[in-house]
């Protein structure tokens, strides 16, 4: 393959041990769902380096999950904010963030969730926000409850919020979960523990943030997210 100056700049490979393996035996649902053949490494083309663009005019923002159908959700109201940057610290501006979560009792507003905990008529658990030009985002919700699952005896998921990010290209797509500081279930959770590198794992835990906490109203948490950077570091392009 000869070089072409018009070739798109690829996204950078993931740093070893900072991402989970799909073959993670402690998480039972992976057993029959992980590929066993070697993945084919595909040098990035425009199919991987470009991606969809979303905007609030087509896909309206849902910034406050804490009220629905004219009433306030039960639970501890929280504000979550942070920045989305790439691996070199550059903001990822105007990118869509999708959010979903259980209610304060640990129950999803989803027909598949059979956990014996009450639904909340004032909580749907779905949000959608966009970063500003500095990669900053913020939304309001209630703290989700922990819930049991069938992975092993007495298995409970730690409190968590699910997120979906797009970033600038098809290959920068990221799905993750945000956790809360001091949760004793983290140590026991095979999904959280699937990320080998401790520092990378701990970055999934939000930080309590008094600076965004609103007096007499809501606690604040900070969750900063990093999406893939481009293959060439700034040094190399200079």
Q: Which of residues 128-157 bind another protein (CB under 8 A)?
A: none
Is 12 considered catalytic here? no
How do strand 174-179 and strand 160-165 relate by DSSP bridges?
Answer: antiparallel
181 binds another protein (CB under 8 A): no
End-to-end CA distance of the chain: 25
Q: Considering all CA atoms of the chain, what is the largest pairwise distance in Å, rounded to the nearest integer?
A: 63
**Judged by CB under 8 A, which of 27, 137, 139, 180 binds another protein?**
27
The residues in 193-222 that bind another protein, with binding defined as CB under 8 A, are 194-195, 200-201, 203-204
122 as an active site residue: the answer is no
53 touching another protein, by CB under 8 A: yes
Beta carbons within 10 angstroms of residue 6's beta carbon:
6
d(CA 94, CA 131): 5
How many residues bind another protein, per CB under 8 A? Answer: 80
Nearest CA-CA partner of 201 in 191, 212, 209:
191
Active site residue 147: yes
Nearest distance in Å: CB 153, another protein: 19
Report if residue 232 touches another protein, rule: CB under 8 A. Answer: no
Q: Which stretch in 27-35, 71-79, 138-146, 180-188 sits in contact with another protein by CB under 8 A?
A: 27-35
Nearer to another protein, 207 or 214 (CB): 207
Within 10 Å of residue 171's Cβ, how many Cβ atoms? 18
Return the number of the residue (89 or 214) whose C-beta is nearest another protein: 89
- Binding span for another protein by CB under 8 A among 19-27, 66-74, 130-138, 180-188: 19-27
Answer yes or no whether residue 115 interacts with another protein by CB under 8 A. Answer: no
**Strands in 66-224 per DSSP E:** 67-68, 71-72, 77-86, 96-100, 126-130, 136-142, 147-149, 155-157, 160-165, 174-179, 207-208, 219-222
In sequence order, the 6+-apart residues with CB closer than 8 A to the CB of 177 are 160, 161, 162, 163, 191, 192, 204
d(CA 25, CA 5): 44
Q: Is 48 in the site for another protein (CB under 8 A)?
A: yes
Residues numbered 67 to 106 that lie near another protein (CB under 8 A) are: 85, 87-89, 98, 100, 102
Name the one range near another protein by CB under 8 A: 51-59, 68-76, 129-137, 208-216.
51-59
CB distance 127 to 60 below 8 Å: no
Q: Catalytic amino acids?
A: 108, 147, 157, 160, 162
């Amino acid at each position: 393959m000869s070089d072409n100056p018009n070739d798109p700049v690829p996204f950078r490979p993931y740093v070893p041990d900072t991402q989970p393996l799909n073959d993670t035996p402690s998480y039972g649902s992976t057993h029959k769902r992980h590929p066993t053949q070697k993945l084919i490494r595909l040098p990035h083309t425009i199919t991987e380096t470009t991606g969809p663009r979303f905007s609030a005019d087509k896909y309206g923002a849902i910034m406050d999950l804490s009220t629905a159908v004219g009433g306030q959700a039960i639970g501890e109201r929280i504000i979550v904010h942070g920045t989305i940057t790439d691996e070199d610290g550059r903001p990822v501006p105007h990118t869509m963030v999708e959010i979903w979560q259980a209610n304060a009792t640990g129950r999803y507003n989803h027909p598949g969730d059979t956990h014996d905990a009450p639904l909340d008529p004032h909580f749907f658990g779905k949000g959608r926000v966009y970063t500003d030009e500095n990669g900053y985002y913020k939304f309001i919700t209630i703290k989700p409850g922990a819930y049991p699952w069938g992975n092993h005896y007495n298995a409970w998921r730690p409190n968590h919020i699910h997120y979906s990010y797009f970033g600038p290209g098809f290959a920068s797509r990221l799905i993750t979960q945000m956790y809360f500081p001091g949760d004793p279930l983290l140590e026991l959770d095979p999904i959280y523990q699937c990320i080998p590198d401790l520092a990378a794992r701990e970055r999934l835990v939000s930080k309590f943030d008094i600076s965004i906490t609103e007096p007499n109203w809501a606690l604040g948490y900070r969750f900063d997210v990093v999406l893939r950077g481009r293959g060439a570091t700034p040094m190399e392009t200079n």
